[in-house]
Structure 1
Amino acid sequence: MAIRAFARVVEAGNFTRAADSLDMPNATLSKLVQELEAHLGILLLQRTTRRVTVTPEGRDYYEKALRIVRDLEDIDHSFNAESVKPSGYLRIDIGGSTARDVLIPLLPDFIARYPEIRLDLGVSDRAVDLISGNVDCVIRGGPLSDSSLVARHLGDAELITCAAPAYLKTYGVPAYPQELRNGHRLVSYLSPQSGRAFPFRFARDEDVLEIKAAHRIGVNESNAHLATAVAGLGIIQTFRYAAAADLEAGRLVEILAAWQPARYPFHVVYPQNRHLTQRLRVFIEWLRDVFPARLLATKRSP
Structure 2
Amino acid sequence: MNKLQAMEVFIQVVDCGSFTKAAEMLNLPKATVSTLVQTLETTLSVKLLHRTTRQVMITSDGAAYYERCIQILSDVRDAEESLSRHRLSPSGRLRVDSPTGLSSEILIPALPAFFERYPDITMELGSTDRVIDLVEEGVDCAVRGGELLDQNLIARRIGVINFVTCASPAYLERHGMPQHPRDLERHRCVNYFSAKTGKILNWDFTRDGERIEVALPGAIALNDSNAYVQAGLAGLGVIMMTDYLLIEHITAGRMVQVLPDWSIDPLPVHIVYPQNRHLSAKVRVFVEWVSELFAGHPNLRLQAPKAVVASSATVLETV
Task: Name the TM-score class by shorter chain.
Answer: 0.7 to 0.9
Q: Would you say 1:253 and 2:256 are equivalent positions?
A: yes
Q: Give yes or no for contact 2:187–2:217 (8 Å, CA) kept in 1.
A: no
Alignment of 1:131-142 (within 5 A): 131-142=135-146
Give the distance between the partners of 2:92 and 2:51, measured in 1 at CA. 29
Match for 2:240: what amino acid? Q
Partner of residue 41, structure 1: 45
Q: Deviations over 1:233-291 (max 9, x none)?
A: 11110001112332233221111112122322111111111111110000001110112
1:122 is matched with which residue: 116, 120, 126? Answer: 126
Secondary structure in 1 matching 2:297: helix
Match of 2:296, SS state, is helix
| CA-CA distance at 1:77 after TM superposition | 3.2
Instruction: Describe the superposition over 1:187-232 as per-residue Cα deviations: whole angstroms up to 9, x where unpaired.
Output: 1111111111222222233233222233332111111111111111
Say whether the 8 Å CA contact 2:70–2:277 is kept in structure 1: no
After TM superposition, the structure 1 = structure 2 runs for residues 1-302 of structure 1, keeping only pairs within 5 Å, are 1=4, 2-14=6-18, 18=22, 31-45=35-49, 53-56=56-59, 57-80=61-84, 85-181=89-185, 183-294=186-297, 296=299
User: Is the alpha carbon distance of 1:82 and 1:66 closer, same or farther for their aligned partners in structure 2, counting shifts above 3 Å?
Assistant: closer
Identity of paired residues, percent? 41
Which ranges of structure 2 fall in alignment gaps of 5 or more residues? 301-319
Q: Check the 8 A contact 2:145/2:267 in 1, yes or no.
A: yes
> Per the alignment, do residues 98 and 150 of structure 1 end up closer, same or farther by CA in structure 2, a change over 3 Å counting?
same
TM-score under structure 2 normalisation? 0.82
Map Cα deviations across residues 46-94 of structure 1 (whole Å, 9 max, x no partner).
668x876244243443134333333333333334367552011111111
Are residues 28 and 278 of structure 1, via their aligned partners in 2, closer, same or farther at CA, if it must alter by over 3 Å? Answer: farther
Secondary structure of residue in 2 paired with 1:259: coil
CA positional deviation for 1:141: 0.5
Partner SS, residue 97 of structure 2? strand
The TM-score, its normalising length taken from structure 1, stands at 0.87
* Structure 1 residues 294 and 51: alpha-carbon distance in aligned structure 2, compared to 1, 3 A threshold: farther
> Could you report, residue by residue, the CA deviation over 1:17-53 in whole angstroms, capped at 9, with x for unpaired residues?
65676677777655543432221123434668x8762
Distance 1:155 1:83 in 2: 27
SS in 2 for 1:103: helix
Is the 1:102–1:295 Cα contact (8 Å) retained in structure 2? no
**Counterparts of 1:25 and 1:83 in 2: how far apart (Å)?**
31
Distance 1:190 1:292 in 2: 29
Structure 1 pair 206–165 and aligned structure 2 pair: CA distance change class (3 A): same
The amino acid that maps onto 1:146 is: D
Residue 184 of structure 1: how far off its partner (Å): 0.7
- Contact 1:158–1:240 (CA under 8 A) maintained in structure 2: yes
Give aligned pairs, total. 295
Does the Cα contact within 8 Å between 1:12 and 1:134 map onto a contact in 2?
no
Partner SS state of residue 257, structure 1: coil
